[in-house]
Amino acid sequence: MIQKIIIIDYGMGNIHSISKKLKSKKTKVIITNNSDDIKSANKIILPGVGHFGKAMDHLKQLNLIDSLNEAVLVEKKPILGICLGMQLMTKKSEEGNVVGLGWFDAEVVKFNNKNPYKYKVPHMGWNNVNVNKSSNLMTNISENDEFYFVHSYHVISNNNDVLTTTNYESNFVSAIEKENIFGVQYHPEKSHDAGQSLLTNFIDL
């Protein structure tokens, strides 16, 4: 069966790169900000690049928050948050000092590295991930595989929800998972084979 994958377009995502990766699979990919499309989706991707506060404003202006809550929390549709999209799933962020969607007992803070010359902010480039718990999202992905990161803020989360961590001077949360809700801080659409494996795993959930 061909799956209907919705990529939420709220004006702050790297949506076309994600769409290209997904279209190589047996999926129907729709880029949309229409609530009816969200209701009819099999799975949802919430991308994001930029400012947390502005992103939440855009979601509110487009009247998407209630539709997302219904799809994710009530209907339990699988959703994958990417980069800022993952951060929006938390309770709040220092960036803009605003509340998020609140799906995870977590918050977003800026990197405060002790050696900013060696560990520059934003954190940009390739890093591996350390898997904290078993997950179908990480099938065929090893700790030697690397993913591409671009971010200045990171998530602090309840340990039960931490899927992977990554070391950048110290360990930070690089992926979270709770029931049908998944988030990755890195960009799978830019992460070559490892990223393609992760997106395939999400499709196959």
Amino acid type, 177: E
pLDDT tens-place string over residues 103-143: 999 999 999 999 989 999 999 999 999 999 999 999 999 88
Strand partners, 150: 124
**Measured distance CA(121)–CA(112) in Å, rounded:** 9
Nearest to 107 by CA among 69, 66, 62, 158: 158
Mean pLDDT within 183-201: 96
Confidence of residue 25 (pLDDT cuts 50, 70, 90): low
Q: Is 70 part of the annotated catalytic residue set?
A: no
CA–CA dist 76, 164 (Å, integer) = 22
Residue 189 designated active-site: yes
Of 58, 123, 151, 187, the active-site residue reads: 187
What is the token pair recorded at 118?
A: 């060696």
| Both tokens assigned to 164 | 């992977």
Q: What is the DSSP letter of 62?
A: T
Active site residue 95: no
Q: For the ranges 19-33, 155-169, 176-190, which has the lowest average pLDDT?
A: 19-33
Which of 58, 146, 189, 192 is catalytic? The answer is 189
pTM for this prediction: 0.96
Instruction: Select the more confidently predicted residue: 26 or 47.
Output: 47
Query: Which residue ranges make up each domain of the chain?
Result: 3-204
Structural Rg of the chain based on CA atoms = 16
| Beta strand residue intervals within the chain, DSSP E | 3-8, 27-32, 43-46, 79-82, 92-93, 98-99, 106-110, 123-128, 130-131, 146-151, 153-157, 162-168, 170-178, 181-184
Given this model, what pLDDT does residue 175 score? 98
Among the listed residues 83, 95, 154, 177, the single catalytic one is: 83
Phi-psi region of 97 (alpha: psi -120 to 50; beta: other; left: phi over 0): left
The model's confidence at residue 14, banded by pLDDT at 50, 70 and 90, is confident
Question: Does residue 1 carry a pLDDT above 80?
Answer: no
Burial label, 92 (beta-carbon count in 10 A; 0-12, 13-18, 19+):
middle
CATH no. for 3-204: 3.40.50.880
Per-residue pLDDT at 33 exceeds 70: yes
